[in-house]
Structure 1
């Protein structure tokens, strides 16, 4: 790629975590305690999601945060795991690129 060329959308997206396979975007509605959150997902379902142990102490998730949810194999419309949380800078970028709309 030459200096004056602008990187393609795929190149710019490659640096940011996006939903893979069955994962969906979601917005945290309510903290339920014990590492569980009520999340309104982009596919229209409201799921009770848990924060896995590897994220629990490292990432603080609050209400109105945008997250990626991985639905469970069983009860996939009701439960899932939160696998990633976007910060405000990343969320602004997703809005600018047209990937995320409130």
Structure 2
């Protein structure tokens, strides 16, 4: 890529974590305690999600945070795991690119 060329949308998106395969966007509605959250997902389901141990110690998740949810294979409409949380800067970028729209 030349110095004065604008990077393509695909190149800019490649730097940011997006949902893969069965994963969906979600918004944390409330904390239930013990590392569990109630999340309203983009596919219309409201899931009880847990924060896996590797995220629990590194990331602080609060209400109204935008997250990526990986639904469980069993009870996929009711339960899932939170695999990523977006910062406010990342969320602003997603809105600007038209990937995330507030509902």
Asked whether the two chains share a fold, i.e. TM above 0.5, the reply is yes
Q: Does 1:59 align with 2:59?
A: yes
Structural mapping, 1:29-44, within 5 Å: 29-44=29-44
Count of residues in Structure 1 that have an aligned counterpart in Structure 2: 102
Counterpart in the other structure of 1:16: 16
Which TM-score applies when normalising by structure 1? 0.99
Counterpart residue number, 1:49: 49
Q: Which runs of 5+ in 2 are unaligned?
A: none
- Give every structure 1 segment of 4 or more consecutive aligned residues whose post-TM-superposition deviation is greater than 4 Å: none
Paired position in structure 1 for 2:76: 76
Q: CA RMSD in A?
A: 0.4
Q: Give per-residue Cα distances to partners, 1:10-62, cap 9 Å, x unaligned.
A: 00000000000000000000100000000000000000000000111110000
Segments of structure 1 that go 5 or more residues without pairing to the other structure are none
TM-score by length of 2: 0.98
